[in-house]
Amino acid sequence: MKNNAAKIERAHLEDSLGDTAAEMYQLIRRLYPICRSITGNGVRQTLKILQEYVPLVIHEVPSGTPVFDWTVPKEWNIRDAYIKNSKGEKIVDFQQCNLHVLGYSLPINKTVSLDELKPHTFTLPERPDWIPYRTSYYREDWGFCLSHNQLQELRDDEYEVFIDASLENGHLTYGEYFLQGQTDAEVLISTHICHPSLANDNLSGIAVAAFMAKHLGSLPRRYSYRFLFTPGTIGSITWLSLNEAQTSRIKHGLVMACLGDPGKVTYKKSRQGNAEIDRAVIQALKDSGDAYDVLEFSPYGYDERQFCSPGFNLPVGCFMRTPHGEFPEYHTSADNLQFIRSEYLGDSLAKCLAVLDVLENNQTYVNQYPKCEPQLGKRGLYRAVGGDRSRAPYELAMLWVLNLSDGNHTLLDIAERSGLDFGFVKTAADKLLQHDLLKESSLS
């Protein structure tokens, strides 16, 4: 493997980050109105738009397909829905906000009393202006989500409830984009695409993943990359079921979600807890100089639940800004286009690429002069005048790389032990390679 390959030019990206961030926001603006669910035409429409950015393959898996302990569900499609009062006024209208309908609602068309209606409504009393997001994928039901204020205003009346939806055999749809690298070892990037008009959760994750894919496509890569755009839970279960034999190629992975809010970046570790991906993310976040949080693994969250189930135990963590459930707008109509900002999307993308930069460059080298220090001065790599300390930090990085390059330490090991930025360690290693003071370890 060539050491000059697989270098992700983060600096170049950062120059153009303003543009990229704006493009991500524009993509989210296009996707926002679509009514997505775990199956159906909203997902297809979303993936089709993503194909304008990355040439992903769209897979269709028939309803009824057994996937481990689950079954691919019927396909749900919705065209219209409303509640009308006895004057014929639409008091709740799906066309205004697709959160109004309980996800996977059965079709309905009848007149009910207020008492009959109420058990089929969902509100947020503590946030009376907001519409909650609710679903009933696996128990057949119908229902409406509305603001608590709306519900409070409803008088004793006859209400026409109308949901023009279908729940029929069809397909589960997901997108997959594979980028071959120098090796077959894979980095998995997975993001959920099953939510309707919710911006941060998870159009932000979709947009950042899509632009990561776009960016990586133009670069040399040590690793192969596999991007999954799947409905949450059932989508990753379906993919794992259909691709079980090849999961051993996955060396590192990230689930991406909630990447456009103003919170600091939060990384939730893989079940393994000290996998290379876990260490690479923490190193990249530390090097960023920005505040960040690291959470231990727990089996609740996004699709890392499936990738980290004990039968797979893949080294897959979850890269977020504010974690699910910890921002009040979570799963409500307030998670909208105003809640997210392009600058946060850009920051999320830059940090993800910095993580991949660590993975791509995390080689093991062997010092060719392991007995005492090699004489850096005669190669122009060391201060000429003893006592001149201006080049000390630069020299220190080289000394660390030489000292720990015994074949048992990767550059990430060296960055961790020295406390130096990964990029600084990598630059020092490159310099030493140029002067034949290091060789790439044949083991790595």
* Closest approach of its own copies to the CB of residue 343, in Å: 29
Q: How far apart are CA 231 and CA 195, in angstroms?
A: 8
Are the C-beta atoms of residues 311 and 297 closer than 8 Å to each other?
A: no
Site string for its own copies, 53-72 (x = CB under 8 A): --------------xxxx--
Single-letter amino acid code for the residue at 78? I
Q: Closest CB to its own copies among 53 and 70? A: 70
Q: Closest CB to its own copies among 87 and 139? A: 139
Contacts of 153 (CB under 8 A, 6+ apart): none
* Closest approach of its own copies to the CB of residue 199, in Å: 17
Torsions phi, psi for 3 (to 5 deg): -80, -15
Which strands make up the sheet holding 265-268, listed edge to edge? 57-62, 171-179, 224-230, 186-192, 250-256, 316-320, 265-268, 292-295
Vertex 115, ends 114 and 120: CA angle to 5°?
A: 85
Task: At 201, list the tokens.
Answer: 């959760």
Instruction: Report 81-120 residues binding its own copies (CB under 8 A).
Output: 102-103
Q: Closest CB to its own copies among 11 and 372? A: 372
* Closest approach of its own copies to the CB of residue 400, in Å: 6
Site string for its own copies, 116-155 (x = CB under 8 A): ------x---------xxxxxxxx-x--------------
* Closest approach of its own copies to the CB of residue 71, in Å: 8
Among 386, 390, 442, 443, binds its own copies (CB under 8 A): 386
Q: Closest CB to its own copies among 10 and 120? A: 120
* Closest approach of its own copies to the CB of residue 299, in Å: 4
Q: Closest CB to its own copies among 289 and 387? A: 387
Among 126, 156, 378, 390, binds its own copies (CB under 8 A): 378
Tally of CB atoms within 10 A around 18 = 12
* Closest approach of its own copies to the CB of residue 46, in Å: 19
Stretch that binds its own copies, among 84-92, 197-205, 212-220, 374-382 (CB under 8 A): 374-382
Kindly list the distances between the CA atom of residue 65 and the CA atoms of 61, 69, 150, 169, 374, in Å, as whole numbers in the listed order. 7, 11, 40, 11, 63
**Angle separating helix axes 342-361 and 17-31, nearest 10 degrees:** 120
Q: Closest CB to its own copies among 52 and 138? A: 138
Q: Closest CB to its own copies among 180 and 313? A: 313
Instruction: Report 210-269 residues binding its own copies (CB under 8 A).
Output: 233, 236-237, 240-241, 244
Residue whose C-alpha is closest to residue 35's, from 164, 140, 225, 151: 164
Establish if 192 lies at the interface with its own copies (CB under 8 A).
Answer: no
Establish if 405 lies at the interface with its own copies (CB under 8 A).
Answer: yes
Single-letter amino acid code for the residue at 144? F
Q: Closest CB to its own copies among 62 and 393? A: 393
| Beta strand residue intervals within 37-168, DSSP E | 57-62, 66-67, 70-71, 75-84, 90-93, 108-113, 121-122, 144-145, 158-168
Stretch that binds its own copies, among 11-19, 89-97, 254-262, 362-370 (CB under 8 A): 362-370
Residue 374: left if φ>0, alpha if ψ -120 to 50, beta else—which one? beta
Are the C-beta atoms of residues 260 and 204 closer than 8 Å to each other?
A: yes
Establish if 28 lies at the interface with its own copies (CB under 8 A).
Answer: no
Are the C-beta atoms of residues 21 and 351 closer than 8 Å to each other?
A: no
**Angle separating helix axes 422-434 and 411-418, nearest 10 degrees:** 120
* Closest approach of its own copies to the CB of residue 228, in Å: 14
* Closest approach of its own copies to the CB of residue 21, in Å: 30
Instruction: Report 293-312 residues binding its own copies (CB under 8 A).
Output: 298-300, 305-306, 308-312
Size of the site for its own copies (CB under 8 A): 63
Establish if 388 lies at the interface with its own copies (CB under 8 A).
Answer: yes
Are the C-beta atoms of residues 89 and 127 closer than 8 Å to each other?
A: no
Contacts of 352 (CB under 8 A, 6+ apart): 208, 212, 254, 256, 319
Q: Closest CB to its own copies among 215 and 271? A: 271
Q: How far apart are CA 134 and CA 144, in angstroms?
A: 9
Site string for its own copies, 320-359 (x = CB under 8 A): -----x-----x----------------------------
Binding residues for its own copies, rule: CB under 8 A, are: 67-70, 102-103, 122, 132-139, 141, 233, 236-237, 240-241, 244, 271, 298-300, 305-306, 308-313, 325, 331, 367, 369-375, 377-378, 384-389, 392, 395-396, 399-400, 402-406, 418
